[in-house]
Amino acid sequence: MTAPNHITGGIVFTGLFCSLFSINIFGNPIYISTCIFCSLLPDIDHTKSIIGKAFYPIAKSISKSYGHRTITHSIFALIGITILASIIDAIYFNNSNLTLIVFFSFFSHLLLDMLTLQGIPLFYPVFKNPCVLPANPELRIRTGNLKQEGIALFIFSLMTIFMQDLFANGFWTTLNKSFGSITHVNKEFKNTNNLMEVTYNYIEFGETKTGKGIVLESSKNEVKLFSDNKILTISKNNSNQKKIDLEFELRKEKYKYITRKFISVTEKEINQMCLNRVVKGTVTSTETFILNNTSKVENNLIFENTYSPIFKFMDKDTLKIKLNRELKQKQIQLNRIDKINSENIEILNNYKKDKNIIEGLINSSIDIYTRNKYEKELIKITDKIDNYKFKKLEKESIKQEIIFIKRLIKEDKKGTFSGSIQYLEIPNKTEDYKNSIEITATD
């Protein structure tokens, strides 16, 4: 084939196979330059080729020693140039994607030449027989035939234009985008570091819901989005959500969570830290608090992605009512333990009294029959004493809890929060972030 077809065909072939590894050959000038160069490189054995003219002394030497379409068009040349590329890539480019691009673009030249009438000796110099695709010569291209070469160039050029999305997004991303399901959003979410923006469309309670959101979390059956300043959950398991259709785009920005650690901050300060942010983390406090006005009371909390969470200490009077209720429960529990322990001791003492009585009867018995009867009773009562599963219930820890609760009831100090939170940096919310203060002991 001629140089234009090797270039366009090499771009199509290399771009397609590199997309399987999420490599965009148009994403870097070095990538596309390498692709074009290596797609022409095997013709360095021909002095009249573009690459041969550029490296004329080398082309002349190879042509004189081996001729055209021999050693440079073999699988051994492909292996050699790939190894050399991997060494250069490791030393100068820190193991970038150049090795794959070199391999596929060089191989594209060999493959395209196999489609010609002459073919190439792919296993030269071990076997010099030409390898061709397909076997029927009438279906192969004659090099230099303007009509055939022109058709091939038109097809390759057209494919290059229409495959730009595939090159840019990668094969697997393009595949996942075509399904528009939660499962495929999850697959892409696991394989990317870029922010994913989802356009959703579904029916809930007979009403159509549409909009856009940033993916925060994802699983096979569920995706959580940040949309319109709230956390939205779309789930296969939600029977009220039907006809779910999701289209996603990968944004240039990366997922970036900023960590803030804090010690002894006030209620106002922690709420200002979380204001207008998607936040997750761990928070502990010196007093009982609630999150987002829920009924669940906490002293320490691990929470997932929440938008602008509000932490609030319980009202003092409400807290004291709760603490007094807990105090009564602890005292009831302590009384119950005392009662159980007392009952166990009484049962055991009764067994011991019975044993003493039986032993006295044995000693006072004259006839053997009566003695044997009491000895059997003694064995039974001794077994009961030995096997009685009595363990005095511990109550010291409950006493300590009662002392702690009584101290909390008497205390009247302001509570503080400590812990660590992470908030997601989301573009186009810069102004919201400016309204939030940074309270941090350690970043």
Looking at the fold, whether 116 and 32 belong to one and the same domain comes out as: yes
Identify the pLDDT of residue 317. 63
Identify the pLDDT of residue 441. 36
Looking at the fold, whether 103 and 23 belong to one and the same domain comes out as: yes
Looking at the fold, whether 345 and 426 belong to one and the same domain comes out as: yes
Looking at the fold, whether 260 and 213 belong to one and the same domain comes out as: no
**Residues 6 or more apart in contact with residue 268 via CB below 8 angstroms:** none
Tell me how far apart the alpha carbons of residues 131 and 117 are, in angstroms, rounded to a whole number.
10
- CATH at residue 188: 2.30.30
Instruction: Please identify, among 254, 282, 311, the residue that sits at the C-terminal boundary of a domain.
Output: 254
DSSP single-letter state for residue 239:
T
Looking at the fold, whether 163 and 179 belong to one and the same domain comes out as: no
Tell me how far apart the alpha carbons of residues 142 and 165 are, in angstroms, rounded to a whole number.
32
**Residues 6 or more apart in contact with residue 176 via CB below 8 angstroms:** 184, 185, 187, 188, 248
Tell me how far apart the alpha carbons of residues 355 and 363 are, in angstroms, rounded to a whole number.
13
Q: Which residue segment(s) compose the domain that 284 sits in?
A: 256-443
Instruction: Please identify, among 229, 254, 279, the residue that sits at the C-terminal boundary of a domain.
Output: 254
Looking at the fold, whether 126 and 188 belong to one and the same domain comes out as: no
Looking at the fold, whether 148 and 109 belong to one and the same domain comes out as: yes
Looking at the fold, whether 131 and 222 belong to one and the same domain comes out as: no
For the chain, the domain total comes to: 3
Per residue of the chain (443 residues), give pLDDT as tens. Answer: 899 999 999 999 999 999 999 899 998 999 999 999 999 999 999 999 999 999 999 999 999 999 999 999 999 999 999 999 999 999 988 878 899 999 999 999 999 999 999 999 999 999 999 999 998 888 889 888 889 999 999 999 999 999 998 998 889 888 888 888 999 999 999 988 999 999 999 999 989 999 999 999 999 999 999 998 899 999 999 999 999 999 999 888 999 999 999 999 999 999 999 999 999 999 999 888 889 888 777 889 999 999 999 998 876 666 677 778 888 988 888 888 888 878 888 888 888 888 888 888 777 766 777 778 878 888 888 887 777 665 555 678 888 888 888 877 776 557 899 999 999 988 765 344 333 333 333 33
| Partners of 223 in the β-ladder | 218, 234
Looking at the fold, whether 163 and 281 belong to one and the same domain comes out as: no
Q: Is the whole model's pTM more than 0.85, yes or no?
A: no
Tell me how far apart the alpha carbons of residues 352 and 249 are, in angstroms, rounded to a whole number.
81
- Reported residue count of the chain is 443
Looking at the fold, whether 201 and 246 belong to one and the same domain comes out as: yes
Residue with tokens 């797609």: 39
Instruction: Please identify, among 204, 233, 254, the residue that sits at the C-terminal boundary of a domain.
Output: 254
Looking at the fold, whether 238 and 292 belong to one and the same domain comes out as: no
Looking at the fold, whether 160 and 210 belong to one and the same domain comes out as: no
Identify the pLDDT of residue 440. 35
DSSP for 314-351, written as a single string? PPHHHHHHHHHHHHHHHHHHHHHHHHHHHHHHHHHHHH
Tell me how far apart the alpha carbons of residues 155 and 8 are, in angstroms, rounded to a whole number.
9
